[in-house]
Amino acid sequence: MAREQHHISHGQASTPPSVMKPGSAASRGTVAVATDSALVERGLVQLINEQPQLRFAGGARSLRAVPGLLARSHPDVLVLDMRLLDDMPARSMPTANMPRVLLLSHRRYACIDAERLQPHTCTTFHLASPESEIAAALLTLYDCERKAPASPDCNHCPARRRLRRPKPALSARECAVFERIGHGDSNRAMAGRLGISVKTVEAHRENIKAKLGLDSRHALVSAAIAWLKGDLDLATLNPAPRERGRLPPG
């Protein structure tokens, strides 16, 4: 999150989390933060405490700690670091008492993460997004009186429109394979993790290379690593002039 050229991950909280701004706490929206980065949490706490309408409700350093945080603080908004979702199956996602969710990504293109928390996800931001935009989104989510973000009316929400930005030209499964390539998984490890065959993994790898215009295994691995770091804009890659391979049964 950037504030005038500064990222929130580089900042320090000038206002301690325990210091409340003047005004009635009951009349202010509450925002909880779940991230494994102390630096990111400090920056978010500072940003939240600088908003007269908001206050910091508490933090969690792991996904397992999120249900307890929600039960204790009942926040209006949860800022959730996407890195906590990396190794969590969608079916294991804690959704009880889930408020409106702002996902914070460390990479520019996260194909899968937003879908994994539907219908709770309201918007998503990159870590280097301007702080003013993130603050505006937090206020929008707090001001929203709807209890279910899945309401058809949410399609008109300015924050939720970010979820409809164009995605890379990869299927959800290809994104999952591409992500695991970036983590260094072998084909066999990917097959076991994703519940598909090794041949299907190999076919997905070939399809990804064709779609992104990558002509070697090294180029594929390098692109996947860069994507995870948020250093690769998939939309700028040109597909190779060859036909997409056929996908065998999983």
* Token reading at 158: 């300015």
pLDDT of residue 175: 84
Count of residues making up the chain: 250
Q: What's the CA gap between 127 and 100, in Å, rounded?
A: 19
Q: Where are the alpha helices (DSSP H) in the chain?
A: 38-49, 66-73, 113-116, 131-143, 172-182, 187-194, 198-212, 217-228
- Entry pTM: 0.60
Maximal CA-CA distance, the chain: 63
**Superfamily for domain range 2-164:** Response regulator (3.40.50.2300)
Q: What's the CA gap between 32 and 45, in Å, rounded?
A: 9
CATH of domain 172-236: 1.10.10.10
Contacts of 206 (CB under 8 A, 6+ apart): 245
pLDDT of residue 138: 92
Domain boundaries, the chain: 2-164, 172-236
pLDDT of residue 150: 56
Q: Which residue numbers in the chain have pLDDT < 50?
A: 3-6, 10-23, 165-166, 240-250
- Rg value, the chain, Cα: 20
Contacts of 97 (CB under 8 A, 6+ apart): 67, 70, 71, 74
- H or E stretch including 79? strand 77-81
Same CATH topology for 2-164 and 172-236: the answer is no
pLDDT of residue 225: 84
Q: CA dist 115 to 103, 122, 186, 218, Å?
A: 11, 11, 25, 29
pLDDT in tens, 28-37: 899 999 999 9
pLDDT of residue 16: 38
Phi, psi of 124 (to 5 degrees): -140, 145
The count of other CB atoms within 10 Å of the CB of residue 9 is: 18
pLDDT of residue 30: 93
Q: What's the CA gap between 156 and 85, in Å, rounded?
A: 27
Nearest to 81 by CA among 130, 55, 44: 44
Phi, psi of 205 (to 5 degrees): -60, -45
pLDDT of residue 95: 64
pLDDT of residue 128: 77
Helix, strand, coil % in the chain, rounded to nearest 5: 45, 15, 40
